[in-house]
Structures are given as structure tokens and as C-alpha cells.
Structure 1
Amino acid sequence: MGIDVSPNKVVTFNATHNRLVNTNIEQIPMEHEITGCKISCIFQRRKSSSGDGNPLIYALKGKDGYSISRRELTKFLGSFYVLLEKILGQKSADIIVPMPSSHPIALIIARRIARRMNNQVLILNNLFQKKTIDEVSSELEDLLQNSLLSKKECRSIEQLIARLGKVKGKMFSMKNVDIKSRAYINPLKLSLHSPEISMTLLRIIVVDDLVASGSTLSAAVNLLRELYPNAHIEGICLFSKL
């Protein structure tokens, strides 16, 4: 159960193969470990000669000219719910944290998870904020003052700062950074309204739409550990790493 992509970038469901995205309900959902946190993925991205599964996430977000009809989208729902149920199993949570995005995919999934848990869970939709390009560039400038960095690392950071200076817009996005350079960046900050929750063991599920390098999820997990040191944290993503 994969996808086809037409020459004009229209994405459609295809039940006869698993190319680009594997949505087969017989599969065991893929898991990744990021910063010691288990991340379970509903659909598995797959490489092929024609792409890597990104067309579906692009179509869901209406990006780069890709599109998908509502009728085609509904064909993925059966697999989505079966695989999500496999992931959730007997899991429970106190808090669900969707990752910040201009597109509501993570929030929609968070609400589906909360509904599955009979809504006995708090969704913190605005716990994280994306940093601005100026904030990230300033932190990279500070990092350059670290005498422990090699000359090669310093050159990489200087080049990254120069590239960010050419990016249009105000808010920072990891898509503007190559994977090798993402280790230097913490793209998230806590909002000014981070709630204080007094529980002995807090169970948190972080929700995102896609695992790429894992840098953004890693930043989120680290911020949550600072905010809630005794929390047990897991993650659920719509799409896996390649």
C-alpha cells in the first residue's frame, strides 16, 4: 500500500505496491531512538529510484506543487488508525505535545491520540515555539567563541550563518539547513506560558509529522526534560526516517 505521483505532482493511493510510503497494516510500526527517547512511526518512508516518500507529506501540506484530493486522502485512514492502535496499545499519557508547525498535521494526530485515550489527557499545543533566524544566528555566533571547536567546525558554522543571512522570512526552519549542520542548532524554545505540573511521574507523548535528521525532536525532548525532569517521554510521528 504505497503512493503514485503523477507528472503534475498529484499524489494517489495505490494498494498494489509499497513504493515511496509503506502503509501496510501487517507491518510492525518502525521505531527510532532519539536522545534516549523511543519514537514510533505510523507510516514508513521508502527510498526508490523516483523519490523517497516526501511527496505525500508535501501534498498534505500543499507544498512544492504537490496535491492530494480529499477522496484519495480518505484511502489512507484505515491503515492510519490500525497502525496508530498498534503503537498505542496499552499506552497512556498525561500530556500530548504537538510540535510547532505552520501546518496542523501534528495537532490533528495529537487530537486523534487524545480521543483514543477518552480525552483524559492534556494537549499542550503551544508549549514550544520556533526560534527566529536572528536568534539561531546569534546562538551560532556565540558558539564560534567556543575554543573547543576545530577550524573545520568553525568554517562550517560561519558558512551556515552566511546561508541563514540569505534566507527570506523571519522564522527559522530546519529545511534551510543541511543535515550535517543541524547538530549545531537548537531550533526550539519554550513558550512563556509553560505550565507547572506537579506529578511524581509524568507521561508525555511528543507528536510530529516527520522524522528527518531527528534534530528538532531531540531539541524538544531535551527541553521537556528540563521542564519536567521526572517525566517519561515517548514520541509518535506520522512518517519514519528513510
Structure 2
Amino acid sequence: MILSEHEKAAILAELAPTGKLRFALNHGNAVLVNPGSTAHAPSGVSVDLAEAFAAALGVAGEFVHYSKAGDVSDSVAANDWDVCFLAIDPLRAQDIAFTEPYVAIDGNFMVPAASPVREAPDIERLGLTVGVTRGSAYSLCLLRESRRATIKQYDSAAQVTAGLVARDIDAMGGVRQAMQAVAAANTGCRIVEPPFMSILQAVGTRTGRPLAQSFADSFVREMKASGFVKEALERHGSGNLRVPASAGV
């Protein structure tokens, strides 16, 4: 992506009015931020994309760290970040302008091994109680679409897992990759197929910043077309995930 110095300055004036280009990093998404990576040495697909984003504008970026996605979206009004990496959701889109998605992540249910649930629609049919992490994309989806199932929100994925192990809930919803590790550690649990949703991850900027949004859109399209996203996913152990094609490609 080649920009003139004038174009870079105009984008940065709108995108980072504080003079710093701040990236919100969601450590709760194990697919995009590597588990165990710290605020001092973050790593993962989101980190790689943030560094490439800043480099395209000729500036250094800095990270603002969050433990879960809901904390990122809830902090829009506080003006604590300029660019985020979140799943697209209509509620979030009221305040965040999203690019097209750069990766699709499966959202699945996990249940006790003896559960009568055999496929995702059984959760709704049986009117079960599902635990989710508050503010996550899958929690927003389930809260919006569930009619018979009860959605119980927890403050962290660890609390949801504890609720399932203690049988306080009938199932938990979450990102497949994260739950595979939980299922491996809790042999009395299993993941339900097929996924109940596709979680479409995108780059987000604040609404009302058209130059920033246009740049972010172009950036994501280029990162997908060049193979950067796919290579980053493979490098960080998620090469099996789908990179959605851009419109018209």
C-alpha cells in the first residue's frame, strides 16, 4: 500500500488525534492473541496486523490491553484506543466502523459428555441454559436470537468453564479453538457440531472517521490478497481457519 506523506498525515490526523496510534488488543481471543503472551511481549495475528497497519502509515503503534472483547467495545466512549480487532456485530457497529472480515472463526457449544445434545439446534429445542462470556460476539448473537434457551453471562471464560464443570449450566458457548483445550483438560466434556455461528473478525475504527475507515478497508483487502493474513494464521497455529474472500474477488 503506497500513500503520499500528505495522505498519511490526513489519515493520522483523523485516526489518531491524540498523536499516538493505539491498538486495542483482546487477550481473551486465543486465536488472534497467543495464549500466554503478555502486555510486555504480545504476539499473535492481531499483533502482526497492528504492526503492518502502523508501518503502512509510517508510524509506531502502541497497544492497549484488554482481557475480553466486551471490554474493548465498552471502552469506545472513553477514547482509549484508535483501532481494534473485533468480531463484526450489529450492536457494536453503532459505534465501530468495521472493515470486511479477514478471518472466520467457528462459534460452538460444549456440553457434558452425557448431555442429550447431539447438534447445535438441540440447545434451543430443549430450552437449555447456556453460559457465555459477557460482551463476546457469540453472547451478543445468542442473546439476540435465542427464544427458548436461557443465556447466562459470566465475566470470564474461566468462570463459564467452571459453571459447566459444576453443572450450573447445561452448555457453554465459545470459540472452538479455545474450547478444544478445555475439552482436552476436562474429558467429561465434548464440543457440539456443527458450529452455531461463524464469528467474522474485522478491523474496527470509530464511526465518523471516513478517511480512517477507507484506509482500514483498503488495508484489510491488501493483507488478504497478499497472503499476509493466511501466513500469519499459519505462523501462529491457526492455519486451518478460513480467510473470507473480498467482495468481487
Q: Same fold (TM over 0.5)?
A: no
TM-score bracket relative to the smaller structure: under 0.3
Give the number of the structure with larger relative contact order, counting CA–CA contacts within 8 Å between residues 6 or more apart: 2
TM-score (norm 2): 0.27
TM-score (norm 1): 0.28
